[in-house]
């Protein structure tokens, strides 16, 4: 079965596939760059397949990269509409992954960086059944009112952010935490000191431990 998005796939070596981690890149990135996380993770998640799709659109500000939705227009209504289109596309992709590898939501972690984090939160909390977990680095909630009206899942979430992030300021971490607590979602957060808009080793290690605890092994 062909997947609908061009995807960097890292399969377990000589192991049956029991879990999947889907990694969604940031604005202007691609599946190749976020797949670097798996260099360390795959040793500790031996039955796990890692899938890092490219966004369905070329990035408006970086033609060599991709986007899940356009951020070049500063209009919250437009951004919400475009993100909802992307959500449908990614959900279709995840369904293809489930069929291709015979997996259930509980065996899947949806993770993302920056814009990919924003998409991971929306996808994870609007599914018909809980995922194993959601991991988000350096992101935020796109539209709290819209998401609040659509939450159907209580998937556990880990959100990690750098305190020096100038692209998506760290106050969005506290904002997301407060919102998710009010929505009775099990949320865990970590603010990394002296960290900008990236994923340092500390953040990668925390995410790995969270994934190990929360997807079926």
Tally of CA atoms within 13 A in the half-sphere of 78 that contains its CB: 6
* Residue-range domain boundaries for the chain: 7-214
Query: Tens-digit pLDDT profile for the chain (217 aa)?
Result: 799 999 999 999 878 999 999 999 999 999 999 999 999 999 999 999 999 999 999 998 888 999 999 998 889 999 999 999 999 999 999 999 999 999 999 999 999 999 999 999 999 999 999 999 999 999 999 999 999 999 999 999 999 999 999 999 999 999 999 999 999 999 999 999 999 999 999 999 999 999 999 996 5
Res 37: pLDDT: 95
CA atoms of 178 and 182, how far apart (whole Å): 6
CATH dotted code for 7-214: 3.40.50.1820
Range 69-104 burial, b when 16+ CB lie within 10 A, else e? bbbeeeeeeebeebbbebbebbeebbebbeeebebe
């Amino acid at each position: 079965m062909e997947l609908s998005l061009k995807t960097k796939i890292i399969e377990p070596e000589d192991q049956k596939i029991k879990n999947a981690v889907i990694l969604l890149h940031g604005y202007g990135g691609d599946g190749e760059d976020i797949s670097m996380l798996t260099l360390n993770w795959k040793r500790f998640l031996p039955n796990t397949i890692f899938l890092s799709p490219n966004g369905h659109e070329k990035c408006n500000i970086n033609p060599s990269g991709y986007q899940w939705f356009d951020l070049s227009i500063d209009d919250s209504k437009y951004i919400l509409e475009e993100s909802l289109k992307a959500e449908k596309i990614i959900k279709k992709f995840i369904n293809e992954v489930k069929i291709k590898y015979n997996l259930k939501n509980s065996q899947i972690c949806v993770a993302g960086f920056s814009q990919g984090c924003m998409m991971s939160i929306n996808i994870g909390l609007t599914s018909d059944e809980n995922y194993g977990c959601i991991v988000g680095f350096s992101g935020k909630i796109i539209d709290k009112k819209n998401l609040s009206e659509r939450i159907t899942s209580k998937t556990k979430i880990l959100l990690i952010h750098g305190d020096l992030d100038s692209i998506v300021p760290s106050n969005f971490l506290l904002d997301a935490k407060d919102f998710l607590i009010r929505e009775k979602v099990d949320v865990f957060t970590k603010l990394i000191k002296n960290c900008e808009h990236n994923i340092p080793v500390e953040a990668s290690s925390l995410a790995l431990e969270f994934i190990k605890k929360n997807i079926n092994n």
